[in-house]
Structure 1
Amino acid sequence: MGLLSRRALNRSLLDRQLLLRRSSLTVTQTLEHLVGMQAQVPEAAYIGLWTRLENFMHDDLAQMLLDRRAVRMALMRSTIHLTTEQDALRLRPLVQPVLDRDLYKNSTHAKGITGLDMGDVVAYGRALLEEAPRTIKEIGELMNHRWPEHPPSSLAYSLRNLLPLVQVPPRGIWGVGGQTRCTTATHWIGRSLNDNTTLGEMIVRYLEAFGPATTQDMQTWSGLTKLKEVVEGLRPNLLVYRDEDGQELFDVPEAPQPDSDTPAPPRFLPKYDNVLASHANRTRIIADQHRKLVMMKNGMKATFLLDGFVCGTWKIVPERSSATLVVEPFGKLNLEEKNALTEEGMKLLQFAAVEAAVHDIQFASETEGRQTIA
């Protein structure tokens, strides 16, 4: 049983996440390899694909959404993910227990559905949503006409968790936006959910994209609990390691494990990138003291990597005819690091702020405990 250092885990993760070098995979291949991308912020997936793929263009993803070959729906951790249409149908049945738990233990909505026959609620809601895509507010109000003693928001939330709802375009289309309107995945895609995929198959795919990993890591990524029995069933076909803390790590045979000294180029990651949210112990990519600077109560900031680790956050500030990339490092950057981030940052601006006539990059620095622009 070999020992894997934090740096070795970092390089394995970066390689499998297509962050050591940009890949020539298609968008479809990438989404399936990554087992989806967290995507409650519509533009995040575009940035996440741009930072991983060669020559990625906005329309490469937008057209897939319009053609119904990719969808946005609640999956792992009960959060919105972008997946291929095939993975939407395969993964949703497997993570349904996560959405059930989120609904029935939800401090806001669980009480609001108490006493209801949820079979009736689901059947009535399905008919309304397949009649026409509707916003959460619209579906809640329509459901409330049938069940006036129950809060519209709780009725709508129950459908969000009990039905496989997808967010339909123009939501998710770069530069278009629009309200979040939903219908069922089976109606939108035109096929039934796939109940043939096993939890073991999902875990193997997770390891291919995020491994080596502990059982707790698998549970953190998926939101599922009690996966130990599933992992034990897979053990004969997995490699087993230990990390620096003595935790048992599992991996698939022949998975890439680059040398710890493999160079890692600077990378700009979008808000909510799964690479930061898919392990119980995230020190392979972000230091514990930096997590609270990135993972806020109201969301996760966009980050950048230097030498493979999260070293700060970034945002694009648009003005009338210009766009400024503001880079906020956690510590002092040397000239080489600034130059590397500037080169990659200009590419980011050319992709994410293509409409701006002027692009600029500014580095924030700590002065007297405040973040100021330098």
Structure 2
Amino acid sequence: MSDTVLDARALNRATLARQLLLDRADLPVLDAVAHLCGLQAQEPQEPFVGLWSRLRAFDPAVPSNLLLDRRVVRTHLMRRTVHLLTADDTLAWRARYDTMLRQRVLGVYRRDLDGVDLDELAEAGRKVMADGEPRSMTELVRALAGRWPATSPRALGEMLVAALIPMVQLPPRGLWRAKGGVRNVPLASWLGREIGPPSSDEVLIKRYLAAFGPAATADLRAWSGLAGLPPAVAAIRDELVSFRDERGRVLLDLPDAPRPDPDTPAPVRFLPAFDNAILGYDDRTRIVDDVHRGVSVAGERVVLVDGRVAATWTVDAGTVVVTPLRRFSRTDRTAVAEEGEEVAKFLSPDESHGVRVLPL
């Protein structure tokens, strides 16, 4: 095992490189979504900001067309949250997540679902959805109301849509600048392909490390929500390199993955709400100070300055408003304003737009 210690700055630069945030990439959108192992997407417009911050010459029409062409999908997966994923990854990974998704829903609604046979519920839900008609969660539960009249409709719906029946959320939800409620349809029928057997944990681990490494097994579990991964980590241990962080945790990585010089300059980047560059770790100190950790789960959009969370941002009538979390140098403030102007232009190209950086 290597005794090399990677400090927070070294881990930060590695994370930025893997997350395509150190330099914007020339990847096609589909390849970027695959490399990132999906983008968290419960807020439908947020993946567009995430991709704009990562890709050169990004055209928001491309991911919209990929959704319409059924090459990417919106579905519950990692941590039971909605992600934008490639169709291929979703079909390959979904069966591995079945148990975790059930457990996550039960963690919230166990009392409500007491006495409900989940296999019976799943079968009843599949029969309703067999006609191929998209349905909202409310519509699906209403069709089953007579079967479980004493059970919370919300609990039944969440269990069906997020766990028991692999579903996708149909466009127009998730299209650029489109609004639409959640309409669900079974994944296999939407893609015209069956879900594969549970994917190899070893492959999943390598995919995670390519996009998030170096990382500890606790980070891997925090990102995926999956239990039972240590045996797979052990099985490929000889194929990986290891380091330690400043807390002494063992960090694993792919041998040839980028680990830039810690002094590599990091440009200002505007991240969307719930970006996995932050949420993809148990220990997030490589990118956000503990005192500001709450912004990562509160749905705040954040600004990276020198690679770290340094501000939050909102949009008000076309103006990007930046609220610093620490004092900016004059150089930092200028860089934030310049990138904020570009974000405003991207989000509101046909309207008046601008940027306002508030004082601390």
TM class, shorter-length: over 0.9
Query: Which residues in structure 2 correspond to 1:8-87 (within 5 Å)?
Result: 8-87=10-89
Deviation string 1:132-161 (CA, Å, 9 cap, x unpaired) is 111111111111133323222222112121
Identify the residue that residue 327 of structure 1 maps to in structure 2.
322
* Amino acid across the alignment from 1:285: I
Matched residues in 2 for 1:98 and 1:365: separation? 44
Matched residues in 2 for 1:239 and 1:295: separation? 29
Report which stretch shifted further, 233-242 or 142-151: 142-151
Report which stretch shifted further, 147-156 or 328-337: 147-156
Matched residues in 2 for 1:130 and 1:272: separation? 33
Identify the residue that residue 198 of structure 1 maps to in structure 2.
200
- Are the counterparts in 1 of residues 268 and 336 from structure 2 also a CA contact under 8 Å? yes
* Amino acid across the alignment from 1:171: R
User: Which of these residues, 353, 356, 359, is aligned with residue 353 of structure 2?
Assistant: 359
The 1:130–1:53 alpha-carbon spacing in structure 2 relative to 1, beyond 3 Å, is farther
Alignment partner of 1:218 is 2:220: yes
Report which stretch shifted further, 55-64 or 119-128: 119-128
Deviation string 1:249-298 (CA, Å, 9 cap, x unpaired) is 10011011111111110000000000110111111101111113x135xx
Matched residues in 1 for 2:62 and 2:6: separation? 37
Alignment partner of 1:121 is 2:116: no
- Are the counterparts in 1 of residues 94 and 198 from structure 2 also a CA contact under 8 Å? no
Matched residues in 2 for 1:18 and 1:359: separation? 26
Matched residues in 1 for 2:165 and 2:357: separation? 45
Identify the residue that residue 370 of structure 1 maps to in structure 2.
none
Identity across the alignment (%): 39
- Are the counterparts in 1 of residues 96 and 198 from structure 2 also a CA contact under 8 Å? no
Query: Which residues in structure 2 correspond to 1:1-374 (within 5 Å)?
Result: 1=2, 2-106=4-108, 109-131=109-131, 132-160=133-161, 161-195=163-197, 197-292=199-294, 294-296=295-297, 299-318=298-317, 323-356=318-351, 358-366=352-360
- Are the counterparts in 2 of residues 304 and 310 from structure 1 also a CA contact under 8 Å? yes
Q: Tell me the SS of whatever aligns to 2:145.
A: helix
Q: Tell me the SS of whatever aligns to 2:264.
A: coil
* Amino acid across the alignment from 2:316: V
- Are the counterparts in 1 of residues 6 and 246 from structure 2 also a CA contact under 8 Å? yes
* Amino acid across the alignment from 2:325: F
Matched residues in 2 for 1:69 and 1:145: separation? 37
The 1:341–1:130 alpha-carbon spacing in structure 2 relative to 1, beyond 3 Å, is farther
Matched residues in 1 for 2:140 and 2:268: separation? 44
Alignment size in residue pairs: 356
Structure 1 unpaired stretches of 5+? 367-374
Q: CA RMSD for the aligned pairs?
A: 1.3
Deviation at 1:129, TM superposition (A): 2.6
- Are the counterparts in 1 of residues 273 and 299 from structure 2 also a CA contact under 8 Å? yes
What TM-score do you get using the length of structure 1 for normalisation? 0.92
Deviation string 1:28-55 (CA, Å, 9 cap, x unpaired) is 1001101111110001100000000011
Matched residues in 1 for 2:64 and 2:21: separation? 22
Matched residues in 2 for 1:347 and 1:185: separation? 36
Deviation string 1:319-351 (CA, Å, 9 cap, x unpaired) is xxxx11100111221221121112111111111
- Are the counterparts in 2 of residues 143 and 156 from structure 1 also a CA contact under 8 Å? no
Q: Tell me the SS of whatever aligns to 2:74.
A: strand
Matched residues in 2 for 1:256 and 1:138: separation? 48
- Are the counterparts in 2 of residues 76 and 98 from structure 1 also a CA contact under 8 Å? no
Matched residues in 1 for 2:55 and 2:296: separation? 25
* Amino acid across the alignment from 1:96: D
Deviation string 1:113-139 (CA, Å, 9 cap, x unpaired) is 322332222122123234211111111
Q: Tell me the SS of whatever aligns to 1:139.
A: helix
Matched residues in 2 for 1:164 and 1:185: separation? 6
* Amino acid across the alignment from 1:301: E
Matched residues in 1 for 2:70 and 2:204: separation? 23
Deviation at 1:196, TM superposition (A): 5.4
Matched residues in 1 for 2:288 and 2:116: separation? 44
Structure 2 unpaired stretches of 5+? none
* Amino acid across the alignment from 1:270: P
